[in-house]
Structure 1
Amino acid sequence: MADGKTGNNHCGEVRVFINLIDLFSSKYIGKFLSDRLVGASLEAADSGDEEELRQSHTFRVVGTVTKPTAQKGATFAAEEYSASDREVLLARLMECDVVIYNIYGNADQIHEAIWAVSALHAELDNFSRPKIFILISTVLTWALSKPVDPDDPEAAFTEDDYRRRRSHPNFKDHISAEKLVIKMGKTKKSRFSTYVVASGLQYGMEEDIFHYFFKMCWLGEASRIPVFGLGNNILPTIHVNDLAGVIQNVIDHKPRTHYLIAVDESKNSLEDIVKAISAELGPGKIARLPKEDIFLTDDLTQKDIDSLFVNLHMEAAFLKENFNLHWVSKFGIIENIDGIVEEYKQARGLLPVRVGILGPPAVGKSSVAERICRQYKLHHVKLKDAITDCIAQLEKQVALEDGDGDREDAQRSLEMLKENMDKNGGRLDDQFVIHIVKQKLKSKPCRNQGFVLDGFPKTYEQAKELFSAEEDESDVSGSKMPPIDNKIVPEYVFCLEASDAFLTSRVLNLPESVVQGTHYAQERFLQHLASYRDINTEDETVLNYFDELEIHPEHIEISSSDDVEHMAVMEKIGSALGKPRNYGPSPEERKLLEQRAAEEHLRSVEAEAAEKQRREAEEEAEREARWKEWSAHLAEVKQQEWELLEVQSIPLRNYLMRNVMPTLTQGLIQCCALKPDDPVDFLAEYIFRNNPQVD
């Protein structure tokens, strides 16, 4: 549990507790309140002294977190707690003026919210000052309510109907918590005020319920965005910052009505919302799928599914009549979709990375561009591919049988392109090329993730024409520069440099199969290289253009052909670009990476085991070889010793044969003839008496 001050509040502060301030709506409610002044939502006071007094109070936000850490995670929170010890948590709640429990998307917090309001109610007599308890619930507690007017299915529910509400089967615990909170506030209203705010489906910032659709559109991997079921059900919604504004108004106004509905003024269906998201962020098309298919989607929880299928007409009548709300999105997600999409990208850090790669022919621009695209998940914009794709798309539109105006426009455009290519030997004039590339850079994938523009534009004039802005999207950077479209101008420009000798040597060493029919053929390559050098020695070059826009190109020298992976170049580029601004690997990609890592680990283990076995076999063979060598050496030594003994024994043997054996033989004969009692003694005596040396 984080260390926080106990006792009385800081002077001029209203202490606000919010549970799970590191999760979606609690986080943004906490951020919102921490930036506001107490009483700011009230009508302006006539007295300047009252205004000054009101401006001197601020909200001090504290709260619990899902995973307590040594360092505070939420920058807006003064203190963070763990909810594991309820006795200590109650002491923290007693320090606060306002206690907010958010069970909108956190069903596991219902029991803690019930405990908190009950525990605080039991401590009423120990309050040092009045307290406010706010429960943020969900409109799903109205999901099965009977229509207000059976004859008018579009009649909207208001706060006045809250006693008639009937909950979705999966949200019965929510409605029980709502009833208890209202009940606890009826004992001593002056000391303990309780409120329930039934939140509409929340959107905005990094997105919650609709994040599935936003992410699918941003990734650009689907040609159509799914609408499950009929899609005509009405979804009551509210921007998360507008919900925070409602909470601030409740704190400031302390209204007599204790049950409030927090929804915007939209009446959008699921299909309308998905269409708007797809049009602004994705492919612009939807696909109607059976309702049951939603259960096959891993990215949607049961709560998300229940929310997306709700069908409620609701009106926040009390909010409109009594609160001073500065709406972020008063008329709903569709009316403000452009701002909502921009908010989503900023909150998620999904900002496009726009890169330009320039340099002489054969310097390796395309290879480097491909590696950047793989590492940062960007779109590789190559001039040849862009033209090919454009022609293929026009031919596809012309082949359609509906015969509408789009088909006729496509037919005219295709004829113009082919006619121009016929006149120029298969090449296109700059005006067509620039139009094609500009449309490619403006495409949704390039706008969402970003791009690497490979080797284009080549001249100052091409750059000026390519990045010029339309009247409604201009951004004048200076008096000398025409308006530019900042959404397609590269943020980073890298110019790969190399000497003519190095480039010529690289091309000469290319395989004939690669060179044949390309601009790498010797004569064509030298012409291209000379043309590049001429263009880039003029007063106005494409690099000058970026310098004038304060986008200073980074020059990277290429001097070695050994680095086929361009590791040195990628290190410099990675240092400039920083970390990727995307979702990172998808679940499938993470699974594949984990599988590859596991396979690599298995291969490593197997290789290590094989190496160990090889070493043991080598050691065993070495031991066996040493043993054989030692055995052979021992046998040789023994043979030498035997031979030496044989040589040394010859004189002794000769002496015995000559001097001892005759006497011994005669003694043995005598011994056999006489048969003495002690033959040995007899024989010894005989030899002694007849010893030739004695004689």
Structure 2
Amino acid sequence: MSNGVYNFLLQSPTKDELLQHLLECDVAVYNVSESATERQVEEAIWALTALHDEMESFKSQKLFILVSTVMTWAMTKPPNPDETDALLEEDFRRRKPHPSFKSHNSLENLVLKLAKGKKSKLVGYVVASGLQYGKGEDLFHYFFKVSWLMQFPKVPIFGQGTNYIPTIHVSDLGGVIQNIIEFKPRPKYIVAVDNSKISVNMDQRNHLLFVWLIVNICAFFPCCSILHMCLKIFTQLEVMCLSINLRLETFIIKDFFDLRWTSEAGMIENMESIVQEYKDTRQLLPIRILLIGPPAVGKTTLAEKLCRHYQLHHIKLKEVVEEKITQLEIVNGSNPENIHQEVMTAAQKQLGNINKSMEANQGRLADHLLFEIMEERLNSKPCKNQGFVLDGFPETYEQAKMIFSDVNEDAGNEDLELMSKAPAYKEKITPEYVFALDASDEFLTRRVQGLPESVAEKMCYTQDEFLPRLTKYRQLSGVEETLCDYFDQIEIHPLSIGNVCKDQREMITQAVGTPKNYGLSLEEQKEQDWKKEEERRWKLAAEAAVRKRRNEAALAEMAAQYEDWQKNLSEVKRQESELLEVQVLPLRNYLMKYVMPSLSEAMLECCKIKPEDPVDFLVLVMS
């Protein structure tokens, strides 16, 4: 299929457009395997029928390859019910599909019917694919995810786990299709499965995917709670596929194809490479961080923030040692019938060595035991899967070299005269990011003095403990070869962050980048959305209550101010009236003494004479 057609198909063309592009192709591959919908099956039927109708106009022979599923064999029984032998590829004519895959079976028969004949210009092939795995995973994704997240001590198994599941790696399935195109074999029905016999029994439970990755589900569910759990995790179609019990033998891909297998022996035998492929495809890469710095600089607080942001494991030396001792004590106190003898013996020996060392060193572990416990923890599956934040350990150049240096690799480099290269180190446990926090002694001392006494005692920050620890750190920082020098030598250059930086976490996340693991699950996302919605509602309600209180207070204040204003206004009016009365009194006396006598005489005279214009008359008389 050409790139142009591929890009066009991604744009959901109409049937006429799709047919036009199918006619331009020499090979059409339709994938209707276990995850295909009924609509996709119907589209494949239409495409095959349309090509068959246009067959006479073909300039050259075309191939139609249908990638179907072994679910069309799901109900097929061996010829002899007492036999447990696998079904043969040549028995495809009597295959019986699972009830939910009858349309797939009809499509397979249509391909074999319409696209056959030596002189036919349309040649059809049916590839009955095993359940597909590999790359980022699809059907088996749940098992890989819970294993990577370490959510369970063992991956859940539903039922007895005695059924056989035909499988094939997606890359091997692609190789089968490529061989069909290249060799055009005579058999038109090809079963594509690997050589695995995946069935979960007690012996096979020792195969590991991180802890125990067991990829099988039986058709029988012993209790309703497990059935409910299964249906909650998987769709009904996925449960049907994982419940299949089918053994198939194929000879075409083994005898006639030049197939370069990716996983010929099956999933379990190639689990390590499949796991790595899965992590690479989904970019599930561990992040390893080391925080170093003087006491009280904030390493633990910052480490907890980084662990929450990146979903990493917080590694503190004291806690690691305590957890290991507790674990060994639990093993030693367990019933010997429930634990393998070798495990019990090893635990007893290790616990004895730890106790002897602590007795001889006044409660301190010898360095070699300390490094052994720490290296074991860093090599644990959780740390290898998600990553870790090392909190303040190692402290010296020698400690870092003891834990992280790869002595065997260094010896090989010496033999090959490659000493000019950086010293070899254990890449899977060595931190890839080193951040050196620092602050002045005065700043650290003030910080410790400001802590509550109970907190200071818990964190060993009392005056008798803190100052010696700080002095020791400064002395180690001044030696010829420091801890930072070790990482510089292996070309992992530490980034210095001073106490003047207000947001140390932001600086580190910028250097490290985005998280490289799973985000929230659907349930976790719903819960987070619900919490955010509740917080939003609470915030809105709180803001509304504050606004209401403010409005009520403002109204009350306005009412009080209005009342005061009214009182003040009345008082002003009273004072103005009194002032006017006082001001008017001298003017009245003047008028009565000097104006009113003359005015009275003039008005009497005006009454006698009765002039035409009394006002002018008064003016003349008064002037």
Superposition TM-score tier, normalisation by shorter sequence = 0.7 to 0.9
Contact 2:299–2:392 (CA under 8 A) maintained in structure 1: yes
Distance 1:640 1:535 in 2: 86
Partner of 1:42: none
Contact 2:409–2:424 (CA under 8 A) maintained in structure 1: no
Q: How far off is 1:326 after superposition? A: 0.4
Distance 1:206 1:368 in 2: 33
TM-score by length of 1: 0.77
Instruction: Please list the CA deviations of residues 421-452 of structure 1 after superposition, one character each: whole Å capped at 9, or x if unmatched.
Output: 12222111111110000000011101111111
Instruction: Please list the CA deviations of residues 281-331 of structure 1 after superposition, one character each: whole Å capped at 9, or x if unmatched.
Output: 125799997375144233312222111111111122111111110000111
Query: Which of 74, 93, 102 is matched with 1:143 structurally?
Result: 74
Partner of 1:95: 24
Partner of 2:603: none
- Residues 568-607 of structure 1: pairs in structure 2 closer than 5 A: 568-607=503-542
The residue identity in structure 2 corresponding to 1:367 is: T
Between 1:455-464 and 1:513-522, the stretch displaced more is 513-522
- Residues 289-688 of structure 1: pairs in structure 2 closer than 5 A: 290=222, 293-297=226-230, 298-402=232-336, 404-469=341-406, 479=419, 483-516=424-457, 519-559=460-500, 568-621=503-556, 623-625=558-560, 627-629=562-564, 631-632=566-567, 635=570
| Residues 526 and 148 (structure 1), Cα distance of their counterparts in 2 relative to 1, 3 Å cut | same
Distance 2:103 2:500 in 1: 69
Partner of 2:210: 281
| Residues 318 and 62 (structure 1), Cα distance of their counterparts in 2 relative to 1, 3 Å cut | farther
Percent identity reads 44
| Alignment of 1:116 onto 2:51 | no
| Residues 208 and 485 (structure 1), Cα distance of their counterparts in 2 relative to 1, 3 Å cut | same
| Residues 284 and 94 (structure 1), Cα distance of their counterparts in 2 relative to 1, 3 Å cut | closer
Contact 1:352–1:449 (CA under 8 A) maintained in structure 2: yes
The residue identity in structure 1 corresponding to 2:64 is: F
Q: How far off is 1:79 after superposition? A: 4.5
Partner of 1:226: 156
| Residues 473 and 413 (structure 1), Cα distance of their counterparts in 2 relative to 1, 3 Å cut | farther
Partner of 2:600: none
- Residues 188-203 of structure 1: pairs in structure 2 closer than 5 A: 190-203=120-133
Distance 1:455 1:397 in 2: 29
What SS class does the counterpart of residue 129 from structure 1 fall into? coil
Contact 1:227–1:274 (CA under 8 A) maintained in structure 2: no
Q: How far off is 1:186 after superposition? A: 2.9
Q: How far off is 1:345 after superposition? A: 0.8
Contact 1:475–1:483 (CA under 8 A) maintained in structure 2: no
Unaligned regions of 5+ residues in structure 1, if any? 1-15, 17-59, 64-76, 660-684
Q: How far off is 1:83 after superposition? A: 2.6
Distance 2:410 2:164 in 1: 34
TM-score by length of 2: 0.86
Instruction: Please list the CA deviations of residues 26-84 of structure 1 after superposition, one character each: whole Å capped at 9, or x if unmatched.
Output: xxxxxxxxxxxxxxxxxxxxxxxxxxxxxxxxxx3466xxxxxxxxxxxxx55553335
Root mean square deviation of aligned Cα: 3.4
What SS class does the counterpart of residue 494 from structure 1 fall into? strand
Q: How far off is 1:97 after superposition? A: 1.8
Distance 2:120 2:371 in 1: 71
Contact 2:317–2:374 (CA under 8 A) maintained in structure 1: yes
Q: Give the paired residue count.
A: 586
| Residues 482 and 290 (structure 1), Cα distance of their counterparts in 2 relative to 1, 3 Å cut | farther
Distance 1:472 1:308 in 2: 44
Between 1:300-309 and 1:135-144, the stretch displaced more is 300-309
Partner of 1:27: none
What SS class does the counterpart of residue 112 from structure 1 fall into? helix
Instruction: Please list the CA deviations of residues 589-619 of structure 1 after superposition, one character each: whole Å capped at 9, or x if unmatched.
Output: 2122111210121123213323443454355
What SS class does the counterpart of residue 233 from structure 2 fall into? coil
Distance 2:69 2:274 in 1: 21
| Residues 482 and 548 (structure 1), Cα distance of their counterparts in 2 relative to 1, 3 Å cut | closer
- Residues 15-54 of structure 1: pairs in structure 2 closer than 5 A: 16=1
More contact order relative to length (CA 8 Å, sep ≥ 6): 2
What SS class does the counterpart of residue 207 from structure 1 fall into? coil
Contact 2:161–2:216 (CA under 8 A) maintained in structure 1: no
| Residues 366 and 498 (structure 1), Cα distance of their counterparts in 2 relative to 1, 3 Å cut | same
Q: How far off is 1:136 after superposition? A: 1.0
The residue identity in structure 2 corresponding to 1:89 is: L
Q: How far off is 1:588 after superposition? A: 3.2
What SS class does the counterpart of residue 462 from structure 1 fall into? helix
Instruction: Please list the CA deviations of residues 194-219 of structure 1 after superposition, one character each: whole Å capped at 9, or x if unmatched.
Output: 11111101111111222111111110
What SS class does the counterpart of residue 422 from structure 1 fall into? helix
Between 1:280-289 and 1:437-446, the stretch displaced more is 280-289
Q: How far off is 1:189 after superposition? A: 5.1
| Residues 441 and 637 (structure 1), Cα distance of their counterparts in 2 relative to 1, 3 Å cut | same
The residue identity in structure 1 corresponding to 2:58 is: F
Distance 1:449 1:586 in 2: 16
Q: How far off is 1:359 after superposition? A: 1.3
What SS class does the counterpart of residue 87 from structure 2 fall into? coil
| Alignment of 1:161 onto 2:103 | no
Distance 2:203 2:69 in 1: 19
Contact 1:294–1:305 (CA under 8 A) maintained in structure 2: no
